Amino acid sequence: MSDPHTYPTRAAAMEAADDEPLSPVAGDTIGDVIARRYSRRDIMKGALGVTAATALFGPAALAASKAEAASVGDRFSFDEVAAGANEYHHVAEGYDAKVLLSWGDPVCADVQDKPFDPRTLTAEEQEYRFGYNNDYIAYFPIDGSSEHGLLCINHEYTNEELMFPGLGRDQSDSNFRETTKEIANIEMAAVGVTVVEVRKVNDKWEVVHGDRNRRITLNTEMTIDGDAAGTARMKTREDSTGKRVFGTFSNCAGGKTPWGTYLTAEENIHGGFWTEELDANFKPDVDHDGKYKASYKRYRIPTRWQSWGKYHKRFNFDEEENEPNRFGWIVEIDPEERESVPVKHTALGRFFHEGAETTLSNDGRAVVFSGDDAQNEYVYRFVSRDHYIKGNKAHNATLLEHGTLSVAQFSSEGTGKWIPLKYGEGKLAKACSAGKFENQADVLIDARLAADEVGATKMDRPEDVQPNEETRRVYVMLTNNTKRNAGTVDAANPRPNNKFGHIIEMIPDGGDFGADTFTWNILVRCGDPTKMELGAYWNAATTEDSWFVSPDNATVDPEGRLWIATDQGKYWQQTGRADGLFALETEGIRRGTPRMFFRVPMGAELCGPCFTPDGKTLFLSVQHPGADGVDGYANFKGPSVFENPATRWPDFDPKMPPRPSVMVITHPDGKEIG
């Protein structure tokens, strides 16, 4: 691979990165690899073990030859990127991948003329600059255009050690001694959401620095609606109404509603809350007592990943026990109204929401799917009480205020149902009469505890839950679960110590996303299919470069084809390949065949894949470059910190640390992506 230091400029390095050799789709398939490695007799006589053999594709598929695989096309035509890991990004041959926005770039006019320097950055400036760790992206066309629109982009969290000089790798060990109040305030301004106008001029996408742009941070005032709003558990010393809260954080994935608003999902909220009650290793050791002990334990509050509570009482759990109840929700933002007040919708439940992909039921109700991203947590769905009315913005703005939150139960027969979480009904009746929940507000604030009662299926870390409106099916990304063991495997989560994840396909009865029953199957089990012991499951046409692990985000392009973004974290060290974006065929005899389109630089994850309506532009988030698991990168001696990062992607400027960035991908011939 290229030596990063032999290029004089960022542009040269990035050009070179795009020129990395690619392996053509006509290369060896996994069927070939396995046929070489194991004889057909081995397979037939079961020498590989029944589990391994059936976990793959069955003897017939194993014997599929390259010629056979090549003779059947799938719906994608790009040449895949080679698997591997280095300091650069890589895109499929012939496509242009350009950086559109990076951490620190000006979003609002207030800082437009001031160069970005992380050494002198202030919290006030950060309020107007592009935030850190960009994640989910949604494109809102202006006047129906695929070349002019608003982008809404989440900023999930901050990596202080790469943002600021002089900060060690692990803040918790030093008890946050070096984290000043100004740094804490910069962090609080670097999370949340960016709304930014973009347009394509002379075949090049650019940011428009007009007055539509907006940053939403932990300091932005929001309202709260739904059954939990205004109740005692939502009131704090600073807010006696229980209906007003400042800001949002841990904004992971999200959604876009049919009525043109943006949904941002609050995920790992536990880390935002501080305590002084610590064990010898500076780990929170709060002796929970009182009525809501089970709730705080279930949501791991406080976990103290951030120092905010040292300087701001509302994030100090020792001082304010209710502020954590005001996070962990889905927040709706109207990107077209710069002065609009974002709303936290409690009807959609409180948990570690990965995303909020939104569609309509056959009778026109809003349907929002959401995974709770932690090991052994659940998959949720919200269906609105009222119906969507096309063009009636004021009415549609109320749809997420009332409705039914349900949780998924997957049966071993391949059927399943959505179980409603309603106070006093069904299995919750007993729990409610036992005093576990006093009203619907409790059920929503403690959605995890409510789901525990009703027999929901504990899943292998549910991430994005993606409906496909073309095929009327739903794809559930399950990223991993090392806590799954031989005693707890089930049909929907079949692998013990599941390090690499899988994808479930749900088929709603009657093709109705609002139906309460569904059938399901496993589309792929991720991992290296040549290692029989992993029990991976792919189409035999899968190549050695294209299999992936740890599915996180998914999207469906305008042709109805599925795309998967991966996030292995430190597990990349076990695959030796960086994360990326993969096309995944869901139809026909190549169903379950992936193909790698884009690969991230060292230590990053890929998120937020988002197509324009014409399918000709793809926006991607490259999150936390230089951060995750980089101690396993042979070309680098760590730790990866501001002064010595594992990569300086995308600037490759010795004075600039790596910067999380949004990339924009197009084809020079103007053809559709894929």
Q: Are 660 and 103 in contact (CB under 8 A)?
A: yes
Q: What's the min distance (Å) between Cβ of 241 and Ca ion? A: 32
Only one of the segments 194-202, 444-452, 458-466, 637-645 lies at the binding site for Ca ion (rule: CB under 5 A); that segment is 458-466
Q: Which does 267 bind (CB under 5 to 8 A by kind): Ca ion, ligand FEO, none?
A: ligand FEO
Nearer to Ca ion, 554 or 641 (CB): 554
One residue of 401, 464, 557, 585 binding Ca ion per CB under 5 A: 464
Among ligand FEO, Ca ion, none, the one that 557 touches (CB under a kind-dependent 5 to 8 A) is none
Tell me how far the alpha carbon of residue 122 is from its chain's centroid: 28
Give the x-and-dash track for 260-299 against ligand FEO (CB under 6 A): -------x--------------------------------
> What span, in angstroms and rounded, lies between the C-alpha atoms of 562 and 609?
11
Long-range contacts of 234-241 (CB under 8 A, 24+ apart): 234/322, 234/325, 234/326, 234/346, 234/441, 234/445, 235/322, 236/314, 236/320, 236/322, 236/323, 236/326, 237/313, 237/314, 237/320, 238/314
User: Which of 342/371 has CB closer to Ca ion?
Assistant: 371
Pick between residue 227 and residue 463 the one whose CB is nearest to ligand FEO: 463
What CA–CA distance (Å, rounded) separates 304 from 310?
10
Q: Which helix (H) or strand (E) holds 595?
A: strand 594-599
Asked if residue 80 binds ligand FEO (CB under 6 A), the reply is: no
Q: Rule CB under 5 A: choose which of 321, 552, 585, 651 binds Ca ion.
A: 552
Residue 74 binding partner per list ligand FEO, Ca ion, none, with a CB distance cut-off of 5 to 8 Å that depends on partner kind: none
Minimum distance from residue 554 beta carbon to Ca ion (Å): 5
Closest separation in Å from C-beta 267 to ligand FEO: 5
Tokens of 222: 């929001």
Q: Which does 464 bind (CB under 5 to 8 A by kind): Ca ion, ligand FEO, none?
A: Ca ion
Q: Of 217 and 621, which CB lies nearer to Ca ion in the complex structure?
A: 621
3-state secondary structure at position 591: coil
Q: Looking at beta carbons only, is 464 or 545 nearer to Ca ion?
A: 464
> Of 32, 463, 528, 545, which lies in the binding site for ligand FEO, with binding defined by CB under 6 A?
463
d(CA 336, CA 196): 10
3 state DSSP class of 13: helix
CB 158 within 8 A of CB 132: yes
Could you tell me the smallest distance in angstroms from the CB atom of residue 231 to ligand FEO? 28
Q: Can you tell me the distance from the alpha carbon of 329 to that of 263, in angstroms, rounded to the nearest whole number?
A: 10
Judged by CB, which is closer to ligand FEO: 22, or 301? 301
Comparing C-alpha atoms, which of 254, 100, 84 is closest to residue 666? 100
Nearer residue to ligand FEO within complex by CB, 458 or 590: 458
Q: Among residues 237, 319, 314, which one has the least CA distance to residue 276?
A: 319
For residue 466, state whether it binds Ca ion (rule: CB under 5 A).
yes
Per rule CB under 5 A, is residue 593 in the interface with Ca ion?
A: no
Structure tokens at 477: 């990304």
Q: Is 373 in the site for ligand FEO (CB under 6 A)?
A: yes
Return the number of the residue (88 or 352) whose C-beta is nearest ligand FEO: 352
Does 156 interact with ligand FEO (rule: CB under 6 A)?
yes
Contacts of 87 (CB under 8 A, 6+ apart): 4, 601, 602, 635, 646, 647, 648, 649
What is the 8-class DSSP label of residue 234?
G
Nearest alpha-carbon partner for 248 in 163, 188, 204: 188
Q: Looking at 53-61, 138-146, 293-301, 456-464, which segment touches Ca ion (CB under 5 A)?
A: 456-464
Which residues between 252 and 281 bind Ca ion (CB under 5 A)? 252
Q: Which two tokens stand for residue 656?
A: 């600039």
Judged by DSSP in three states, 577 sits in coil
| Burial (CB count within 10 angstroms: exposed 0-12, middle 13-18, buried 19+), residue 319 | middle
Query: Based on CB atoms, which residue is closest to Ca ion, 310 or 499?
Result: 499
- DSSP string covering 48-81, please? T-HHHHHHTTHHHHHT--HHHHHHS--S--SPPB
- The stretch among 54-62, 246-254, 535-543, 571-579 that binds Ca ion (CB under 5 A) is 246-254
Q: Which does 156 bind (CB under 5 to 8 A by kind): Ca ion, ligand FEO, none?
A: ligand FEO
Number of residues that bind ligand FEO (CB under 6 A): 7
DSSP result, 524-572: EE-S-TT-GGG--B--TT-BTTT----EEEEEE-TTS-EEEEE--GGGH
What is the number of helices (H) and of strands (E) in the chain? 16, 31
Per-residue contact flags (x/-) with ligand FEO for residues 374 to 403, judged by CB under 6 A: ------------------------------
What is the CA 555 to chain-centroid distance, rounded? 11
Q: Which of 252/383 has CB closer to Ca ion?
A: 252
Residue closest to 198 by CA, chosen among 105, 71, 111, 76: 105
> Per CB under 6 A, which of residues 236..265 are in contact with ligand FEO?
252
Is 354 a binder of ligand FEO (CB under 6 A)? Answer: yes
Closer CB to ligand FEO, residue 197 or residue 267?
267
Provide the minimum distance between the beta carbon of 446 and ligand FEO in the complex, in angstroms, as a whole number.
20
Q: Which is nearer to Ca ion, 123 or 252 (CB)?
A: 252
In the region spanning residues 536 to 555, those forming contacts with ligand FEO, defined by CB under 6 A, are: 552
Residues that bind ligand FEO (CB under 6 A): 156, 252, 267, 354, 373, 463, 552
Residues that bind Ca ion (CB under 5 A): 252, 464, 466, 552, 554-555
